[in-house]
Chain A
Amino acid sequence: MAKLRIEDVTLRFAPRGGKPVWALDRISLDVADQEFAVIVGPSGCGKSSLLRLVAGLLEPTAGLITLDGSAITGPGRDRGMVFQSYTLFPWLNVRENIEFGLKIAGLPASERARIARHFISEVGLDGFETVYPRHLSGGMMQRVALARALANDPAILLMDEPFGALDSQTRSLMQELLLTVWEHAHKTVLFITHDIDEAILLGDRVHVMTARPGRIKERIEIGIGRPRSVDVLTSADFIAIKRRIMALIYEEAVRAME
């Protein structure tokens, strides 16, 4: 049985004073337990909205989303999220940021400290425990955001273009770090990106979305063996898959322009 199941989900926005926007059209998608699922699509295709639906931050106009068989009705700590924008709490230091969800859940201080210590070292930030976010680089902030989401031990990790604001060298390092952390944590991941390289490098399966209203255009199994590193970016398998996805996205980008 699927871990996460998205069934016939449709989303329409009615902005005040504007004409309604049809963001998602009868999307269906399954994510298996411990799968790394990636959704890739042209900008404005509604992929971030889809992730927000899973997070419970938006409500679908029609359709059903279930996690471990129970319907999603609102946001909750079983679905940790990492945003593209920097969302660390500026008034909390690295450790306190990571402990935020644990504190809300009422864990005792010693337990919180133990979990925070573990994830701080998982994301390579030993020694930065008491540093405030304004002294961290973009990559470091996203590592803290990842650690903070994982500290809650969510059933699924939702990532909305988390490396989109980083420079390309930092992005490559973060992708490798995420792969390592993911292999340790055995988490189910739903990852949104418009970067095709990133999608193939990270994903077990890549779902290509159409232009708005978003639908799943194609699902592509990424058969590349693990553990992976950025070296796979130049392999023949990788390039063949990339060519295929690029063609699909190109069609959609052209369609979106028309």
Chain B
Amino acid sequence: MRRSRLAAYTAPKKEIGRPVYLAVSALVAVSLFGLWSLLAYGGFVRPVFLPTPAEVLRAGIDGIRDGSLFVNTAFSVGEILAGFILASILAIPLGILMGSFKIIEAAIEPVTNFVRYLPVSALIPLLILWLGIGIEEKIAVIFIGTLFQQIILIADVSRSVSSDLLDVSYTLGANRRAVVTQVLVPATLPGVFDTLRVTLGWAWTYLVVAELVAANKGLGYFILSSMRGLFTDRIFLGIMMIGLLGLATDQLFKALRARLLPWAANA
């Protein structure tokens, strides 16, 4: 006898068909949108708290027309990229070395672990004092917020490279330098990629927090200034923009990983 469909869909860790998968995803997304529409159009929630989808769309069109959406988005993206790239340039080599060389671990692990448990938001007042509320401060917040997390995560990636892989390289004639550059580094690449993908998401959080505390440009500022005028539709627009950018960068990272590291299994 054929097992029922219900049984097939409720078995743990079993594959389901692609159409079913997409249908379920779409159903949930549409339902959430429907719930929002119902609450907003049905008058269940006061408009000042919950804008209708049409209002958010209109706010988006206005934002594009007057340029405010583009300017603030571009500003936030620029800050993120600067802070994130600077942190990554430092964190990738330091993390790889820290995970595989005890002497480097001894040098930087205690400091890293100390800073890592300081929420970067606690440093924002100090950074404002030092750097003001401009782009330098935002870049510093993202840099500090991501750097130490990246170091710890990449060190773990480096640590988990099998020592047999390094040993076999020595028996094939590689010297220490070749083992590091031609074996250890490539072996860490998939894990490094995944770390970057995850920490870029965190970088958004730090940036928005920093912009909510003090800023005169950026998506966080856009949201905060909209709140002061009770423009809930613009608040929604700002939040959605951040969500969409996050989704886009995540997909970009996935595509890039599949393209650059075709030999690695998917994360």
Contact = CB atoms under 8 A, between A and B. Distances in A.
A79 B171 contact: yes
Contact residues of A: prevailing secondary structure? loop
A78 to B, nearest CB: 9
A121 interface: no
Given A87-B162, A132-B263, A104 B178 contact: yes
Contacts of B178: 104
Contacts of B169: 100
Interface string B137-158: 0000000000000000000000
A152 B167 contact: no
B261 A77 contact: no
A9 B186 CA distance: 36
Interface string B162-188: 101101111111100010001100110
A104 B174 contact: yes
Contact of A85 (B164, B264, B265): B164
Given A85-B162, A89-B165, A91-B261, A57 B170 contact: yes
Contacts, number: 73
Interface of B: 162, 164-165, 167-174, 178, 182-183, 186-187, 189, 261-265
A91 B171 contact: no
A57 B79 CA distance: 48
Contact of A104 (B162, B173, B187, B261): B173
Interface string A38-61: 000000000000001001110000
Contact of A87 (B165, B186, B261, B265): B165
Given A85-B162, A87-B164, A87-B165, A134 B265 contact: yes
B173 A105 contact: yes
A149 B162 CA distance: 18
B73 to A, nearest CB: 36
A101 B173 contact: yes
Contacts of B162: 85, 87
A77 B171 contact: yes
A133 B182 CA distance: 17
Contact of B168 (A76, A81, A92): A81
A101 B178 CA distance: 11
B170 A91 contact: no
Contacts of B167: 52, 55, 57, 75, 81, 83, 87
A148 interface: yes
Contacts of A133: 263
Contacts of A158: 171
